């Protein structure tokens, strides 16, 4: 299982650490972006938590995309880059994909409007 995020909101750093701790009560967790050496743990039997950029080339049966509303272009030039990052996130799952968000943006609205999304 992979848990992917585009970036951690600075204001949510403690929430993120609490999330990792709570997730660790369910199964072993490997935060692949914790430090330089954590990336070497990619093959351990655990839930992998990592940035979308570091997930390129990896595949998981189940993927949770956290904070999908942060795939939001800051400038018009960022639209293509953020869209590519979102594409990477959405294509890491082979069986189940869960997307979480707290606010809508252009990308979220397009996903919901596509009719492929289940629930809200």
Q: How confident is the model over 48-99, as pLDDT tens digits?
A: 999 999 999 999 999 999 988 888 888 888 888 989 999 999 999 999 999 9
65 belongs to a structural domain: yes
What does the pLDDT read at residue 119?
65
What does the pLDDT read at residue 89?
94
What pTM, to 2 d.p., does this model score? 0.85
50 belongs to a structural domain: yes
60 belongs to a structural domain: yes
90 belongs to a structural domain: yes
107 belongs to a structural domain: yes
CA 39 to centroid of chain Cα atoms: 16
58 belongs to a structural domain: yes
- For the chain, the straight-line distance linking the first and the last C-alpha, in angstroms and rounded, comes to 21
- Beta-carbon contacts of residue 108 (< 8 Å; ≥ 6 apart): 68, 69, 101
Order the strands of the 93-99 sheet from edge to edge: 29-31, 47-51, 2-5, 60-66, 93-99
Instruction: Tell me: pLDDT of 9 over 70.
Output: no
Instruction: For residue range 24-39, list pLDDT tens digits in order.
Output: 999 999 999 888 888 8
Q: Range of 108's domain?
A: 2-113
Query: Of the candidates 39, 117, 18, 104, which has an alpha carbon nearest to the alpha carbon of residue 30?
Result: 39
Domain CATH code at residue 14: 3.40.50.300
Instruction: Tell me: pLDDT of 6 over 70.
Output: yes
28 belongs to a structural domain: yes
If one counts every other C-beta atom within 10 angstroms of the C-beta of residue 94, the result is 11
> For the chain, what is the domain count?
1
Instruction: For residue range 106-120, list pLDDT tens digits in order.
Output: 888 888 888 777 765
* Residue 55 to residue 40: CA distance in whole angstroms: 13
* Residue 55 Cα distances to 4, 59, 74, 84, 88, angstroms: 8, 8, 22, 13, 8
What does the pLDDT read at residue 7?
78
What does the pLDDT read at residue 108?
86
118 belongs to a structural domain: no
């Amino acid at each position: 299982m992979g848990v992917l995020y585009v970036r951690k909101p600075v204001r949510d750093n403690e929430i993120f650490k609490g999330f990792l701790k709570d997730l660790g009560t369910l199964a072993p967790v490997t935060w692949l972006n914790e430090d330089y050496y954590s990336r070497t743990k990619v093959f351990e039997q655990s839930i992998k938590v990592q940035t979308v950029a570091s997930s390129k080339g990896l595949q998981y049966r189940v993927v949770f995309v956290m904070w999908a509303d942060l795939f939001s272009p800051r400038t018009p030039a960022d639209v293509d880059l953020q869209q590519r990052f979102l594409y990477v996130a959405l294509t890491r799952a082979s069986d189940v994909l869960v997307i979480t968000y707290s606010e809508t943006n252009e990308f979220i609205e397009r996903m919901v409007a596509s009719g492929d999304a289940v629930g809200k």
